[in-house]
Amino acid sequence: MKTMQAVCFYSYGGPEVLVYEKIPCPHPGEGEVLVRVHAAGINPVDWKVRRGLLQETLHHTLPLVPGWDVSGVVAQLGTGLTRLKVGDAVYSRPDISRDGAYAEFIVIREAEVALKPRSVDHLHAAALPLSGLTAWQALFGAGGLTAGQRVLIHAAAGGVGSLAVQLAKGKGAYVIGTASAGNHDFLRRLGVDQVIDYQTVRFESAVQPVDLVLDTQGGDVQARSWSVLKPGGILVSIASPPAPELAARHRVRQAFVFTEPNAGQLAEIAALVDAEKLKAIVETILPLSDATRGQELSERGHVRGKVVLRVV
């Protein structure tokens, strides 16, 4: 393949800067694989990059193909590979500093790729890597969550939140989740022990002290979360770095998580999915050519689970 269909952007801005067009097909180098993309998940980082909000952190060169949630099949191998072979069904959260998965093909480092869960299709597998790794690294890496602890998960019905709920319950934690009223039954089915309607109740008045807060919102939600932590507890944010001085004032700890690729953790997540202990939640499926609408839905918020682009 010399060319491929892809969605890219040549300047930062709103959804209208996304262009669906033919571009050169990439080729794998040493330690890399070429993956035929079957599905790509949409995440907030996609439109944050498109809007130019992460320029100082990621230093992208434009034009850029967004999308860093992918499920597909290995189409070609670079040199020096040890684990994968052509035809393997894989999934990945690839390096966000490189071109993403809104395309027919993507080049990914082998170290960032794992075999996809056997029990789900590519559309559902593509909903897992970034959100699953974010929840895993926040709860278990930064947060050190253990059985019997109490955790508050903000926006528990979202892409990260819905997986974090399941992972925390699987660890044996007591889970409290905030969500709009329309998502309460959904969260109870996932196992949430206490659901709080953030639109009608201030969560800090309804929550007994917790060991861990997973902050997916930042801003006012983060500021109000300090007061619900037990002494020695931890506020883990995936939205904005919590202030160390505020943590010290409240006699708690803080951490900020920006998800890192990790094939080993993806393999563990895949095993949980195949054991029916973790379920990907896909709300909307769109064709690759409709990526603009997909990003608009994500940017608007209130998506239950994930929006996924069908490429094959």
Residues near 285 by beta carbon (within 8 Å), at least 6 away in sequence: 123, 307, 308, 309, 310
Say yes or no to pLDDT of 250 above 90: yes
**Looking at residue 125, what is its pLDDT?**
98
pLDDT band at 95 (very low <50, low <70, confident <90, very high): very high
The stretch 21-26 carries a mean pLDDT of 98
Total residue count of the chain as it appears in this document:
312
Q: Do domains 3-128+280-310 and 131-256 have the same CATH topology?
A: no
Range list of H helices, 38-149: 44-50, 55-58, 122-125, 129-136
Q: What are phi and psi of 291, to 5 degrees?
A: -60, -30
pLDDT band at 221 (very low <50, low <70, confident <90, very high): very high
- The predicted-structure confidence for 56-70, as pLDDT tens digits, reads as follows 889 999 999 999 999
Burial class (CB in 10 A: 0-12, 13-18, 19+), 273: buried
Listed by start position, the domains of the chain span: 3-128+280-310, 131-256
Show the 3-state SS of 161-189. HHHHHHHHHHHCCEEEEEECHHHHHHHHH
C-alpha closest to that of 256 among 245, 241, 235, 244: 241
Residue 153 in contact with residue 161, Cβ under 8 Å?
yes
Do residues 74 and 88 touch, judged by C-beta distance below 8 A?
yes
Question: What value does the mean pLDDT take over residues 76-103?
Answer: 97
Question: Which CATH number fits the domain 3-128+280-310, given the four candidates 3.90.180.10, 2.60.40.10, 3.40.640.10, 1.10.150.130?
Answer: 3.90.180.10
Question: For 145-197, how does the pLDDT look when each residue is reduced to its tens digit (9 = 90+)?
Answer: 999 999 999 999 999 999 999 999 999 999 999 999 999 999 999 999 999 99
As given in the structure block, the two tokens for residue 236 are 């883990």
Rg, the chain, Cα only: 19
In DSSP terms, which residues pair with 32 in a beta bridge? 109
Which tokens is 33 given?
A: 């694989």
Q: Say if domain 131-256 classifies as CATH 3.40.50.720.
A: yes
